Chains A and B, each alone.
Chain A
Amino acid sequence: MTRRLVFWITLSFGVFMLFQFFIPVVGGAYRKVLDWMQVIYLSSLLVGVIALGLQHLRKVSTLSSGWGYSLVTVAGLVAMPVAAFWGTGESSVFFWLFNNMQVPMQSTVFSLLAFFVASAAFRGFRARSLPAFLLLVSAAIVMLGRVPIGTKLYFDFPAWSQALLDIPSVAARRGILIGIGLGSVATSLRVILGIERGFFGRKV
């Protein structure tokens, strides 16, 4: 029964979304659906945050492994909404916490990417086979074409680098994108028609 209900809801909303894309006259109804999505999203967010808080509170109360991390999570979950009660303007505590704690922490994680790129490049650029050798040569040309020393070594490196990016790289990306486009349309049709039901349970 639940499966059938989910199927009919998916079918009706899927067909409606198709219509509103091709026929903009029904744009008003589309905006209403977007409002409902916000309601669903906020409800899910609330459920998710409560579940997360309870899970970490349980870990703290039983002092199970990693409870210190859970304590930090619970503290963050409580501190930010409480701080928001006193305003979210530029001079508020909330804003200060956001700018001086959350933003630097996010930047720190993002900056780790530089080290991971280096370690991945070290592994990826080993010329163990012909394709790997070609990758290494292409990457070396692209990198040399992007830095001043490359031009000093050979004046045409920037042009070679750009040619590699504009021709073989774009051709490969377009090939992948065509596949993704077709795959996306076919998958959406499968979902709308109820053929692909993996997202609401396995067919046996």
Chain B
Amino acid sequence: MNTLIWLPAEKIPVLIAFLCVAAALLGVFLLKRKGKSFKIRALPGASAIEEAIGRATEMGKPVFFTSGTGEIDRMATLAALSVLGEVAYKTAQYGTPLFYPNNDPVVATVAQEVVSEAASKAGHPEAYKPENVFFVTKSQFGYTAHASGLMERLKPAATLYFGTFEGESLILAETGFAQGAIQIAATDSTIQLAFFLVACDYTLIGEELFAAGGSLSGDQEVLGSIVAQDWLKAAVILLLLVGAILATFTTFNLASRL
């Protein structure tokens, strides 16, 4: 009875999954302490970010960044802000303007801090322009109209879509395509992935969004945790295979025929 009050039965599988992730993370940190270094496969989309910023610099055009309509409590938004830090660092180094209209006031406030900090770290605090990282509106299509209009006027050479997107994804991506920009997208919204795959030059699929920040920064702790994720994915694949075999045996009653 007490177990149900303190830990509801339906949450036990979630707790087990959480403990598995925590254990895998702990494992990689112990390995890191022993001096092991981690590497992940190159993510073409993440590697293309520097190329896109370089192209924008050469063309003297700005870089456009958006995290869609996600709020700050979404992991995809936090992952997008990690990528934003790297993008802001590079654009500040190259002296390329970075524009980031925002759909959420809290994300906008955090984003201003991220860009400002990255510009300072790059040694160019003057590269941070508060008027380029700003809140627009909470209205989904109001934001879409503003972001599309801004892209039409700025004609950016690189457009980066990182975060959670809904119906606005294709409107933004097609507007960016019409400007001839290099387009890189990463989202955890599975329905919008198809639109980005068609309209963008590079698309980071699902979990790659969470790995992009680490891949760009090369931070060993973050890379280690991505390796832990891969171990867990291998375990899940193994479980799925075992489950599929068992289900096949049960469905066709193969055990009795053996």
Contacts and interface: CB of A to CB of B under 8 A. Distances in A.
Interface of A: 18, 21-25, 40-41, 44-45, 47-49, 51-52, 55, 66, 69, 102, 105-107, 109-110, 112-113, 116-117, 119-121, 123-124, 173, 176-180, 182-191, 193, 195-196, 198-204
Given A183-B209, A198-B213, A202-B121, 19 more contacts: A23-B6, A25-B5, A44-B108, A45-B105, A51-B134, A52-B136, A113-B170, A113-B171, A116-B170, A177-B190, A182-B207, A183-B210, A184-B210, A195-B219, A196-B82, A198-B217, A199-B81, A202-B217, A203-B219
B141 A110 contact: yes
A168 to B, nearest CB: 13
Given A55-B134, A116-B174, A198-B217, A183 B75 contact: yes
23 contacts: A48-B108, A51-B134, A52-B136, A110-B141, A117-B170, A120-B170, A120-B174, A120-B199, A124-B197, A173-B190, A176-B207, A183-B206, A183-B209, A184-B76, A186-B25, A189-B225, A195-B225, A199-B78, A199-B81, A199-B110, A201-B114, A202-B86, A202-B117
B85 A186 contact: no
A21 B225 contact: no
Interface in B24-78: 25, 75-76, 78
Nearest to B11: A22
Looking at B88, B141, B229, the one whose CB has the most chain A CB atoms below 10 A away is: B141
Contacts of A184: 75-76, 188, 210
Contacts of B211: 183
A40 B106 CA distance: 8
A48 B109 contact: yes
A195 B221 contact: yes
Given A116-B170, A200-B113, A187 B79 contact: yes
B64 to A, nearest CB: 16
A49 B206 contact: no
Nearest to A194: B221
A178 B210 contact: no
Nearest to B89: A202
B118 interface: yes
A176 B171 contact: no
Contacts of B114: 198-202
A188 B110 contact: no
A54 B258 CA distance: 78
B222 A116 contact: no
A28 B21 CA distance: 28
Contacts of A105: 141-142, 145
Main secondary structure of the interface of B (DSSP, over half): helix
Interface of B: 5-8, 11, 14-15, 17-18, 21-22, 25, 75-76, 78-79, 81-86, 88-89, 102, 105-106, 108-110, 113-114, 117-118, 121, 130-131, 134-136, 138-142, 144-145, 149, 153, 167, 170-171, 173-174, 188, 190, 193, 195, 197-199, 205-207, 209-211, 213-214, 217, 219, 221-222, 225-226, 228-229, 232-233, 236
A51 B88 CA distance: 21
Contact of A187 (B75, B88, B145): B75
Contacts of A201: 85, 113-114, 117-118, 121
Contacts of A51: 130, 134-135
A182 B190 CA distance: 15
Nearest to B109: A44
